[in-house]
Structure formats: C-alpha cells, structure tokens
Amino acid sequence: MPRLQLSSIAPAILVAGLVFGLVLAFFNTSFFALLELKGLDLLFTLRGALPPPDSIVIVAIDESSMAEIKQQWPWPRSLHAQLVRQLHHAGAAVIGFDILFTEPSEPAEDQALAQALHEAGNGVLASALSVVNDPLFHHTIRIDPISALREAAWAGGAFVSIDPDGTVRRARLLAPDLPSFALQMVRRYLEQPAGGAAVAPEWRGFSQKALSQEQLINYQGPPKTIQTVSYYQALDPQHLLPPGIFAGKIVLVGRALEATPEPQRLSGDTFLTPFSWIGSNPTAGVEIQATLVDNLLSGRFVAEPTPIERWVGLLALALAASLLATRLKPLAALTATLMLAALCLVIAWAVFAAVSLWLPILPGIMTLVLVYGGHLLLRALTAERDRRHLLEAINRDLEAKIAERTQELSQRHQQLETAYGDLTRAQHQLVQSEKMASLGLLVAGIAHELNNPTSYVCSNLEFIEEYTERLAATLEAYIGEGEPNGQARRRGDAHNRQSPFTGTLNTLRELIASSQEGTGRIKKIVLDLRTFSRTDDIGLIPADLHEGIESTLSLLAKQYQDRITIHREYHPLPQVECLPGQLNQVFMNLLQNAFQAIPSKGNVWVATRVEGDWVKVTIRDDGAGIAEENLSRIFDPFFTTKPVGTGTGLGLSISYGIIEKHGGRIRVTSTVHQGSELTVELPVQPIKRAPLPTT
C-alpha cells in the first residue's frame, strides 16, 4: 500500500478507535441507556400504528360503563359473572380478567363468579408478584385469586417492567413457577380447535429460554389501537354491539379509565408506552396485556442485536465514517456525516417496520458526530502543529534575517555617519567658500580703499624725509662743531635764508597730519574687516547688531558709493546672543543682493527694532524685485536668477540656515520693478526658544 494511503488510514483508525471507546463508555451509563430507549420510541413513532389484530377484543371498564352501570367500584362479582356468561354465549374463545380478585367478597358473589367461570371453561385470571427489597433479604410474594376462583379458571402473572423514565417497554412471559397472564391466555386459545390450528406453527418458534427472558413489546400503536368495547356494551351485546364481535376471539376485561374519580378505591392501571411521548396519553394495562397476546400469537416481539453484534456494527460504522472523513474536506465531511446520519435513521426505520428489528439509532448518530468532531480536532491539532513548526522555521529565518539586516544597518549606519561627517565638513567648507566668495567681491573695493591712503602716506614719507634733511642741515649749520659761534651763526642764517626753517617745519607738520589721516583710514578698514570676519569658535556671545551692519556697509562702500543712498532707521537694540561672524555674513549677503538688484541709482533702507524678546532687521531696496514664481525658491541651494558667473545661488540658502540655527526666521516680500524687502527675526537669547512674534 502506498505511503500516502497508510498515512491517511492511521489517523482514521485512531479516531475510530477513540470514538468507539467513548461510545462504549457513554452507553454503559444509565443516562445514555435511557437515550437509547428514546431512540426505540422514535422508531415506533416513525413506523406508526399497525392494523389492529382480528383475534383480540378488549372489554374496558371505562367512564361510560361507570355512568351506565351506576354502581361504585368494586362492582359485585355477580356482575362479572353475568359478563362471563354473555361472552361465553357470544362465542368468546378465551375470557381473561386483568383484575385482581385476591380478596373475598360476599360468598354468594364469589360463588356466582366461580360458577360462571366454571361453566365457561375458558377463563384466565390475573395474579401478581409482590417484591420485598430489604437491606437484609430479597423476598418475592405471589398474590393469586381466591381459591374458589382459582379452581374455576387459570391464573397468570401480569409481568411488565417499568424503565427509569416510567415507560413500559419489556415484559416477562414465564416466571419459574408461574406463566404470564398473556401466555396463559394464548395457551388456552391454542387449545381451541379454531385458533390453535392457525397459529400453532408460529407458536412453536418460542423456546422455553426465550419465554423466560424479558421481551421487547411490539406495540401496535397509541392507546385504543386494539379493538375496544365498553363493559356495559358487553353486558348486552345482542343490542349494543355488532353480531359476532366476540365469536372465536380472545376477550380481555380490564380497567381503561382516563380519569380516576376515587383514587383511594380505584387505581387507574395505566402506563406510559413508546407512543405516549407524542400524545402524552398513557395506555391501559389491559391493552398492554392484549398487545403481549398479539405478540405471542404473531411471533413478532421487537428483536434487538446482541451486545457483540451492536458493538461490532458501531465499530464498523466508526471506521467507515472515519475513512470517509479522512478523504474529504471539513465542509464535505460534515455533509457526508449528516447524510450518513439520515441514512442510518432511514435504515433503522425500514428494518424496524419490516421485521421489527431494533437497530439503536442514537449510538450510531453519536458515533458519526464524534467521528466528525474527532477529525476536526485532529485537523486542528495537526494544523496547530504545522503552524508551530512553520512559526519556528519562520522565527529561525527571521532571526537570521534580523542578524543579517542588523549587520547591514550597522554598516549603513557607519556609512551614514561617515557621509554625515563628510556632509558637515562639505557644508562648513561651502559656507566658508561662500564667505570667501563674498569677501572676493570686496577685494577690489578694499584694495582701492587701502591703496589711496597708502599711496599718499608713502608720498608724504618721501617729502617728510626731504624736509627732515633740510631741518637737520639747518641745525648742523647753526651748531658748527669746532667753529666760533659767530661764524656758525652766520652760516646757519645763510642756510636758513635758502631754506626757511619755519616754512619747512609747517610743511612737515602738514605731511605728518596727512599721513595720520591716511593711516587712520587704513586702520578703520582693517577694523571693519576684522569685525566682519570675526571668528565664531568661542560659541554664542552677546553682540551689537548695529556694529556688524555698519562694518558690512563700510566693506561694501565701493559697491554703492556714488549710486546708492543708504537710509538708516536704527532703534536701540539689546545685545543679541549669537555667532557674530555668521550674522555678518547674512547681512553681507542681503546687502549685496540689494545693491545688485539696483541697476543704476537707487535707495536701500536698513531698519532695526525690538518686539518683546525678539529683534528685527529689515533690508529694503527699490530695485528690480523678484518674480512671484521665484519667491518660493529663493532659499533653495544653487537657485539664482543672475547671469552665469555672477552668482553661486548659495547666499540666501546659507543665510536661511544660519538664521534657522539661531532659532530665528527670515521672510521675504517682493514686487517686480518696485523692490524687495527681507526681514530677519532673531531671539535675544536663542537658548530659551522664545515663541516667534505674531505679525
């Protein structure tokens, strides 16, 4: 057998074995045994009522008879004697009284009934067994009719078994020393020439052993299925009943009261049967005895399989259902299980209706349900096991991938750190390059500014040297070492007349003053350049923004002199904690853009003011302005509207970054051909991160 088939058969056998064990354990309990009996009741209900037997008639002591006879119970035994004579006269084959005559009444009454039974010769009376269950002993007492009646008729015990749910399903036909009431009646009936010839062959089918065991009663139907007449009608059959109704038949007399008016004196003698669970009506004991008589005559009690046959059948059903469930998907298996359950019910009903064989329904259906549930559980456990194995495999793969990814991320992190360091250095170099580019624009102007005072200082120094020599020569002429004073004086006067001392001294003083002015201008340029390019290595320091603006304007003087008028609108400002060198670079970028935006002559306004913990520096020009579509891009790196070679596109981007680093912001408004306005807002103390002012 292929491995795949073996792998599917093994779970099927396992589930079938477990289910069989559970069913075997469950149905050995009283509760499930009772459920199994309810399955028998269901089969009776599904089969329905059978045709009533032709050979049996019941004479019922019912409410109508109570009303017609108008006597209290117990009725006089002479009345029963009258009934016996009427039945015997009508041709009854056997007359059975399902009434206990265990106590004597009036002697005349007892004698009348005994005489009638003796004359009929076919009477059967009911006996009873009283069981005494004591902790110390078990005793059974036989209760027979009184001796006078027992000598005139046969006696039989009305043996029925009542199940725990109060339903009568079984009866015993033969006790060790007493046959049953139904068996006695059948024996008397079979002794009759008319009845015995017809049923003797079937009767011989019951062995002594079979009669000694309890038999399942094969009920004909619900109450009053067997032909029944009232007691008062049987007293006058010629006028109240059809002709020949009792001829050659077994007649059973007994109580069949639906209500018990005097329960202290009259027992209802009714029992629940398999048909009672639908109509809720009990069946009279006399009708149960009549049913037993019919079962004996027909030879058809309800048969049931032996325990071994039952369990073998259930095991086979469990294996078949389990193999089927193994091959099918859950939904298809559920459908197949329901169909099998329905098929089991149909088969059980058909067999029961055909041959009165009781195939237990509930154990079979429970077996099917448990097999399906077992396979569902097995599938769930298998799926859980596979899921767990898959999850473990995924976890292993995930751990390996996480380790690999972690290593990759670590490498990328190192690469990012390296790239970030390179970017920081590149940014710093870019800022420095932009700063040097800005300074490069100042070189020509600064060189010119330095060249003018340097030139005339150098020229003045030549004249100062010449005039100094003249003064020195005049002094030497007056001093005249080794010569008489008079001669030296005369020579000095002569020299003074050629180069007047006073004029030379005045000219020398003018030259010195002019040189001092030139060196002062050089000193100022150097100071402005130093202020502009001051180092930021020491971190944030308090700075005067006006000083930075003015030094920047001085360095840019070459670019705006003679064509641009600077309008200063300064207000008192507190010192701002900042990086002064970087802010000066911002001011230079903004001022250079303003100067470059004015093609010829124009104006630039520089205004400062304080708003709370913020200072504002506004630089406005009346130049060309910026197109509206370019306003959102002016702070982007490398964006410029200047001709190629005249701008890098980094000035405003770097300025934006510097202002943002200081915790401030920069805003721009512009109108084409009317000019632009850029406003720098800075907190006085950036560390505190004061909220931006509302505008």
Please list the rounded mean pLDDT of every run of 10 residues in the chain (695 residues): 56 86 81 85 91 93 91 91 95 94 92 94 87 59 87 89 89 83 91 52 56 87 92 93 93 81 51 82 91 91 89 89 87 89 91 90 87 87 87 87 86 83 70 59 57 68 71 66 59 63 71 70 63 61 89 80 89 90 86 86 93 93 85 74 59 83 90 90 72 44
Helical spans, DSSP H, in 328-361: 330-355
The DSSP result for 13-72, as a single string, is: HHHHHHHHHHHHHHTTSHHHHHHHHHHHHHHHHHH-PPPPPTTEEEEEE-HHHHHHH--P
Looking at this protein, which amino acid is placed at residue 545?
L
| Per-residue model confidence (pLDDT) at position 489 | 63
| Per-residue model confidence (pLDDT) at position 441 | 55
| Per-residue model confidence (pLDDT) at position 65 | 92
| Per-residue model confidence (pLDDT) at position 289 | 93
| Per-residue model confidence (pLDDT) at position 4 | 42
Non-local (6+) Cβ contacts of 66 within 8 A are: 73, 257, 261
392, burial (CB in 10 Å: exposed 0-12, middle 13-18, buried 19+): exposed
| Per-residue model confidence (pLDDT) at position 569 | 94
| Per-residue model confidence (pLDDT) at position 521 | 65
CA distance linking residue 654 with residue 630, whole number of Å:
17
Query: Residue 74 corresponds to which tokens in the numbers above?
Result: 């117990």
Cis, bond preceding 74 (omega within 30 deg of 0)? yes
Q: Which of 45, 254, 52, 276 is nearest to 163 (CA)?
A: 276
CA distance linking residue 640 with residue 652, whole number of Å:
9
Specify the CATH architecture of the domain 540-688: 2-Layer Sandwich (3.30)
| Per-residue model confidence (pLDDT) at position 691 | 46
Phi, psi of 141 (to 5 degrees): -110, 130
Non-local (6+) Cβ contacts of 199 within 8 A are: 189, 190, 297
| Per-residue model confidence (pLDDT) at position 200 | 41
Tell me the sheet residues that pair with 142. Answer: 129
Return the SS3 of 102.
coil
Report pTM.
0.56
CA distance linking residue 157 with residue 129, whole number of Å:
7
CA distance linking residue 665 with residue 692, whole number of Å:
9
Domain residue limits, the chain:
37-298, 415-531, 540-688
| Per-residue model confidence (pLDDT) at position 519 | 75
